Structure 1
Amino acid sequence: MIAIARPMPALSTLLRLGRISNLPTVWTNVFAGSIIGGGARPGQLMLVLSAMTAFYVGGMCLNDFFDRAIDSRDRPGRPIDAGEITAGAVCAIGFGLLAAGVVLMMPLGLAAASCGTILAATIVLYDLWHKGNPLSPIVMGLCRALVYIGSCVAVTGGLSNTALIGACALASHVAGITYAAKQEGLDRVGKLWPLLMLAVPLLAALPGLTAWPVLTALVLLLAADARAVYLLANKPVPGAVPLAVSGLIAAICLVDAVAIAGVVGNSAVAAICVLGYPLTRMLQKIIPGT
């Protein structure tokens, strides 16, 4: 039997699979989790950034792998359905990147490696069981919370209360996004009350409103959330739900800016996180973020 060599998938296919346009939100998560946790040594930070990038891209690949049958019906044109890459290759890339993420966390200590392992397992749980699971927004929120927690543990060796509070606020925001995203294929949103979870980071920042960096970051986050809720509630244009979801994903960077400004008062680093929002929005115009 003659083996037929398959062409390598195009770079654009791999970028779409990994939803790399959303990576700035992961990087600002790492900055926030490590800085509000009390440490940010450059060498450690680079390892954590690399690990969390691998976890995110791997998780996105596995999302396409496990959803391939549903995507062929609801979202035709995704890379596997379009024949741009085989399901087996996507599975291998996804699990390979999750394993790489765990390996990258190992030099940072047993606790960091354990956090990485738990994050990888939670990602797989979400990808396997998010369709039809009413708790899937909570599971996705936990995935992002573990980025904060893992980053803090990796650079400090422990978990601070401030990092844990920040992780809970971030988890609420992401759970709200995930609820909206579950309706994205239908371009509709049913009950809007779960979107109240988006308010948790805003409420958590209220004690620090006397400082201008916190107020600035909070106003930007409020504006981004308000625009997304308007799109979800009124659907003024076709594709309003995907537009809102993409905007809320980008606003994760603003959640991180609020956390840094409120806990550390570091306006420079908070500003870097703020810049992650327009960077993500720009990249989403090139590579779809959902």
Structure 2
Amino acid sequence: MTTVSRARVYLRLGRVSNLPTVWTNVLCGMALSGSDLRAPAVALVGLAVSLMYVGGMFLNDAFDRDIDARERPERPIPSGLVSAGEVFAVGYGLLGAGVVIVGVDGHLSGRGLSPALASALLAGAIVLYDAWHKGNPLSPALMGLCRVLVYVTAAVSAGGQLGAAVLGGGMALLFYLIGLTAIAKQENLLSVRSLSAFGFMAVPFLYAIGAPLAGLVGTIAYGALAGCVVHAVRLLRGTRKDRIPRAVVTLIAGISLLDAVLIARSGAAGAGAAAALAMLGFPLTLAMQRVVKGT
């Protein structure tokens, strides 16, 4: 396999098109913690968590290789493009690298072990989800927990407080992701399970109303998030064979819009500008998904 071909396989395994949502998670976690939104800090933690996300996606394919061989034989491992051993090695290596970066930065910044512990918890949650998500009724919550721990890791890495804003924002994100997963699995949108999924998706909207948004930017972000969810539901109600994956990638991109809403209501210094920046994660994710599949 040529270097270019291997790079393409790695990009596909890592679902790198979804990385903008990871970057906005980091930005949001720092804003909710009340820390200063300094570009170097956002970039460093964003890099570390990006490595962990990509590593987790590698491990996801490695753990799912037997199921993919039956249901998705075109995936890199069952199609023979790469070995499971290599994917496991790269996945764990990237996870470890992310933890080390966060831990070393926390030590050098005088923040003690909190950043290292938070990133280690994130790494553990990622591995647990990857190894135990098939047939696990709690897998949507476990996946959401991974994203919540990104908020926590970003917050403590920036020296912020794990207060009510981080907890509330984390719960809003958790319910969004539970609803995302549940809705995507439904074939009948009028079923009881599907209606409960809509209830989960409603939580972030109700939570965001509980505090003023940062002017026009916050209002636009709120409306954009609502439009994203409505569009995904319309896709699911359609008859196209690819309606479920299209809805899923749309809702994944919508994570950046939720981050923007939460930043806008945080009251942090520069919240309006940070929320506007987070909103850009939505079109960027959708654009990147046209090149590299997000699922």
Between the two proteins, what is the percent identity of the paired residues? Answer: 44
Partner of 2:231: 227
- Alignment-mate amino acid for residue 102 of structure 1: V
Measured on the aligned residues, the alpha-carbon RMSD in Å equals: 1.9
- Give the aligned residue type for 2:77: I
Equivalent in the alignment of 1:3 = none
Q: How far has the Cα of 1:180 moved from its partner?
A: 4.1
The 3 A distance-change label for structure 1 pair 89 and 137 is same
Per-residue CA deviations over 1:261-285 (Å, capped at 9, x if unaligned) read: 1112622211111111011001111
What residue is the counterpart of 1:57 in the other structure?
54
- For 1:142, give the aligned amino acid: L
Q: Is the 8 A contact 2:260 2:279 kept in 1?
A: yes
Report the alpha carbon displacement of residue 115 of structure 1 after superposing the two structures with TM.
0.5
1:83-98 correspondence to structure 2 within 5 Å: 83-98=80-95
> Is the contact between residue 111 and residue 157 of structure 1 (CA under 8 Å) also seen in structure 2?
no
Structure 1 residues 158-173: aligned runs within 5 Å: 158-173=161-176
Could you list the runs of 4 or more consecutive aligned residues of structure 1 that deviate by over 3 angstroms after TM superposition? Answer: 6-9, 187-191, 208-211
Counterpart AA for 1:48 = V
Rounded Cα–Cα distance in structure 1 between residues aligned with 2:58 and 2:183:
21
1:16 maps to 2:12: yes
Q: TM-score, normalised by structure 2?
A: 0.90
**2-structure distance, mates of 1:141, 1:75:** 24
Aligned partner letter, 1:245? V
| TM-score, structure 1 normalization | 0.91
For 1:226-260, what per-residue CA distance to the aligned partner results, in whole angstroms no more than 9, with x for missing partners? 1112222x133221010000000000000000011
Give the secondary-structure state (helix, strand or coil) at the position aligned to 2:158: helix
C-alpha separation in 2, matches of 1:209 and 1:37: 17
Aligned residue type for 1:99: G
**Structure 2 counterpart of 1:25, from 5, 21, 28:** 21
Q: How does 1:3-152 map to 2 (within 5 A)?
A: 10-39=6-35, 40-106=37-103, 107-108=105-106, 109-152=112-155
CA distance in 2, matches of 1:171, 1:112: 21
Query: Would the aligned equivalents of 2:18 and 2:252 in 1 still touch at CA under 8 Å?
Result: yes
Please give the secondary structure, in 1, of the residue aligned with 2:245: helix
Give 1:35 deviation, angstroms.
1.5
Structure 2: 5+ residue runs without aligned partners? 107-111
- Greater CA drift, 241-250 or 263-272: 263-272
Match of 2:109 in 1: none
SS of 1:57's partner is helix
